[in-house]
Amino acid sequence: MRRAYRLDVRLAVVVTLMSALTLVGAGTILSMEFTRGQFGIEERGLSTQVEEWAGLLRRDPGGTVVFDRPAEPTLEVDPPYTGLLSGARPVYGYTVTDATGAVLDRSDANAPAGRPGPAGPEPVILIGPTLEGTGPVLIAELFVPEFGAWLRLARSRSDVTALTNTFFAQSLEELGWAALAMLFVMVITAVSIVRFSLRGLRRVAAQAERITFDNLGQQRLSGSSAPAEVQPLIAAVNHALDSIRTGAVAQRDFSIHAAHELRTPLADLKLRLESLASDPDRDAAMQDIDAMARLIEQLLHIARLDGSTVFSLQSLSLGETVAQILNEAAPRLVSAGWSLEAEGLDLPVQIIGDATLIALILRNLLDNVRKHTPAGSSVKVSLADDGTLLFTDTGPGLPGFPRSSFARFVRGNDDARSGSGLGLSICETAMRRMNGTFNLQPAGSGAAFRMTFRLDQGPD
């Protein structure tokens, strides 16, 4: 069976993953935009610089076009640079080339390599290597028509990547904890919203747990507090409960009608047999008729217990009720050779129950004693002040009977004439209708049944 998952845990995982993917995606997009924007800034700055420095071209006494280097700034440039055009690592490098690509003048470092492009009035931005073979570098070239030469200015493009990495390192250092805190708050908020939204569903689950076969005609699921998404499920469950209820009513009505219809022919058949002379076949037939009549009575009891019959549960003295039932039912058993002992019936034990159901239970147990134990066996009924009634006998017991349940039509032996297998099920159902319990207890010999009633606690 597949293990059920928790919606809030799954949502927390999903929110965490989605938030992490969102942060990674946002960081990637922001990095790309920052890099592209920084490249744009660098390109515009380099274009402006090459236009400004194009006016510094001149011809030397030999007629060669050279670049008249500007003076270095008085302020120290930011490391790791050593100057604008001087030192081992200058900010810029340059070359002055003619139309054939011949280098007329160059910087000591970062001088851009390559042939110039077509002559034009605007700076052209491109990427290429340096004459030293390093790079790539960002190159801005501008044709200076009065000298017929190109000034090509270069700046390391890796500076942009380093700047981007520095920006994000600082951002992560300053905003990383805030992002984690925001993610934590998002997860807690999402889980809290889900749990709050599922409160109505938990109420529906509690309603479902309270539905039993006994209250099937009155209890249904109320979906007013549940989310709209589960309303169809609630409606389907209620429809299924209605169908079960309809089937149960039809089964109960059939049992009642069949039992009533069989009573009359059985009574007529018994009268006819009683008018015949006694012989083994006639006696066996009389026993079968008695067994069928008892089965019919048990079916009627089962139908009433399973149906919508309302039993008047009220406060009553358990000892007095049991004593009255035994006074009415015991004489037949005692006259047939069995002995009966009662203990604790004078205890003042007040319970919530129904005298009719208690009589039904005790009569079924006494009838089982008469049918399944030999004459001369003894029966003991003991009452305790905690509302427990213990019924024991000294018969053969129930060696093959399951202790965990009292399923219908389950017998302790294979003799079909010994009983229908409904008696103990009737007892258990009757106790359940009184909100009590009925259990088969282990015993050294014979059978022992423990009935636990709900005590009357009086007014709150």
Q: Where are the beta strands (DSSP E) in 111-167?
A: 124-128, 137-144, 149-156
Q: Are 164 and 34 in contact (CB under 8 A)?
A: yes
Q: pLDDT by residue (tens digit) across 97-127?
A: 998 889 999 988 889 998 898 888 999 999 8
Render the burial of 136-175: b for 16+ CB within 10 Å, e for the rest: ebbbbbbbbeebebbbbbbbbeebbeeebeeeeeeeeeee
Q: pLDDT by residue (tens digit) across 23-63?
A: 777 777 766 766 666 677 778 888 998 999 999 999 998 88
Which residue is it, tokens 């008018």?
A: 275
Question: Predicted confidence band at 292 (pLDDT cuts at 50, 70, 90)?
Answer: low
Q: Which amino acid is at 138?
A: L
Angle at 27 between CA 22 and CA 31, to 5 degrees: 150
Cα gap 106→130, rounded to integer Å: 11
Q: pLDDT by residue (tens digit) across 377-435?
A: 899 999 999 999 999 998 887 766 655 556 554 555 544 444 556 778 888 888 888 88
Percentage of the chain beyond pLDDT 70 is 76
Cα gap 140→116, rounded to integer Å: 10
On the 0-12 / 13-18 / 19+ scale of CB atoms within 10 A, 431 is buried
Residue 110 Rama label (left phi>0; alpha psi -120 to 50; beta): left
Work out whether strand 339-343 and strand 149-156 pair parallel, antiparallel, or are unpaired: unpaired
Cα gap 339→333, rounded to integer Å: 8
Angle at 210 between CA 208 and CA 215, to 5 degrees: 105
Mean pLDDT of 340-362: 90
Q: Average per-residue pLDDT in the chain? A: 79
- Phi/psi at 141 (5° precision): -120, 145
pLDDT of residue 417: 44
Q: Are 450 and 381 in contact (CB under 8 A)?
A: no
Q: pLDDT by residue (tens digit) across 250-280?
A: 776 676 666 666 666 777 777 777 777 777 7
Grouping H, G, I as helix, E, B as strand and the rest as coil, residue 362 is: helix
Q: pLDDT by residue (tens digit) across 167-216?
A: 666 666 666 677 778 778 877 887 787 777 777 778 888 888 888 766 77
How many of the other CB atoms lie within 10 Å of CB of 298?
22
**If DSSP states are collapsed to H, E and C, what string results for 288-345?**
HHHHHHHHHHHHHHHHHHHCCCCCCCEEEEHHHHHHHHHHHHHHHHHHCCCEEEEECC
Q: Is residue 136 reached through a cis peptide bond, with omega within 30 degrees of 0 on the bond before it?
A: yes
How many of the other CB atoms lie within 10 Å of CB of 318?
26
pTM score = 0.47
166, pLDDT greater than 70? no
pLDDT of residue 402: 56
- Phi/psi at 397 (5° precision): 80, -165
On the 0-12 / 13-18 / 19+ scale of CB atoms within 10 A, 26 is exposed
Q: Are 112 and 93 in contact (CB under 8 A)?
A: yes
